[in-house]
Amino acid sequence: MTDSRDVPAGPLTPAGPSAGVHAFIAGLPKAELHVHHVGSASPRIVSELAARHPDSKVPTDPEALVDYFTFTDFAHFIEVYLSVVDLIRTPEDVRLLTYEVARDLARQQVRYAELTITPFSSTRRGIDEVAFMDAIEDARKAAEADFGTVLRWCFDIPGEAGPEAAEETTRLATDDRVRPEGLVSFGLGGPEIGVPRPQFKPYFDRAIAAGLRSVPHAGETTGPQTVWDALTHLRAERIGHGTSSARDEKLLAHLAEHRIALEVCPTSNIATRAVRTLDEHPIRRFAEAGVLVTVNSDDPPMFGTDLNAEYAVAARLLDLDEQGLADLAKNAVEASFLDGPGKARLAAEIDSYTAGWSAP
């Protein structure tokens, strides 16, 4: 192309990381803290699920699926997401999805992941709750044995589904006869606009009393007050996204002082238009303010990304070298709900990988 409009804008668009940095990221042991169960269904997994349910309109051919996963707008994304939800009909579908998601994480050297699951989407559709829990637990144990990736669960309330969903999610997360062994945290997802966080306080109170950690989404599509609400009313220990925190100095100082991590998902923020462009992403502002920044992938195949690609984005936006990337990975270990020895082990693995690294 010779048109002058196609000439790169120079210093305004800094170069991406080198091939060496990409190779470092690919082998770096990592923890993933913000990734959704159904939202992690890659074309490979969706194709397997679609083949099990031939009446579905979802294509089974992986190449056709790549087109199917190319979204024209946010409404189209929701439509495709719901068509994938519709493929999760039996406990065996749940098991297959969970196990295969772990395989995709393991390929990226993810050693530990807290997977956000919305059990209400499945129990509402008639999947037996005990069979559902057995399916995810069976997949968790098999994934740990087969791939060495440790999975833990965050059960989240789909906020848009209202009090019925909140009550059902809380019951599934706190009833000793149902709650799965791998459950560590309690979340809140869905749209923020028109769904104020404070109304969920009683449910979070019950979950916290049952020993679960609080990790709501907040400040992704609304302002910093939503993050304050999540901290005050829902006693958030980490914030899902928290993008708009950048607009409130006092909030940034509070997050930094209390080591409340932000689960930053850069590509997702662009895909959902929460942030206009990657270069305008506030991740650098967070890091400069001393906030504990973690990088995560949210709904990776649906946003055309994966955790390794998000680390490469962070390397560019935060100007990180290999040591900087290792520190970023260790932020996620610190902010995770692993126990002390588990955190020490994974941090040591990151250190020894970094010490032994020599660029190709």
The binding site for Zn ion (CB under 5 A) comprises 298
Min. distance of Cβ 340 from Zn ion in angstroms?
27
- Nearest to 88, CA basis, from 61, 48, 141, 130: 48
Nearer to Zn ion, 93 or 298 (CB): 298
State which amino acid sits at residue 11.
P
Min. distance of Cβ 299 from Zn ion in angstroms?
7
The residues that are catalytic are: 220
**Per-state percent for the chain, helix, strand, coil, to nearest 5:** 55, 15, 30
Q: How many helices (H) and strands (E) does the chain have?
A: 16, 9
Nearer to Zn ion, 309 or 326 (CB): 309
Min. distance of Cβ 223 from Zn ion in angstroms?
18
Q: Is 13 helix (H, G, I), strand (E, B) or coil?
A: coil
Nearer to Zn ion, 32 or 298 (CB): 298
Q: Which residue is nearest to Zn ion (CB)?
A: 298
Min. distance of Cβ 36 from Zn ion in angstroms?
6
Token pair recorded at residue 109: 């050297």
Min. distance of Cβ 260 from Zn ion in angstroms?
17
Nearer to Zn ion, 100 or 298 (CB): 298
| Strand-pair partners of 186 | 155, 214
Residues in the chain: 360
- 115, with CB counted inside 10 A (0-12, 13-18, 19+), is buried
Instruction: Give the span between the Cα atoms of 346 and 284, in whole angstroms.
Output: 25
- Find the Cα–Cα–Cα–Cα dihedral 212, 156, 284, 297, rounded to 10°: 120
Task: Supply the angle between the helices 129-147 and 91-107 in degrees, to the nearest 10.
Answer: 30
Nearer to Zn ion, 21 or 309 (CB): 309
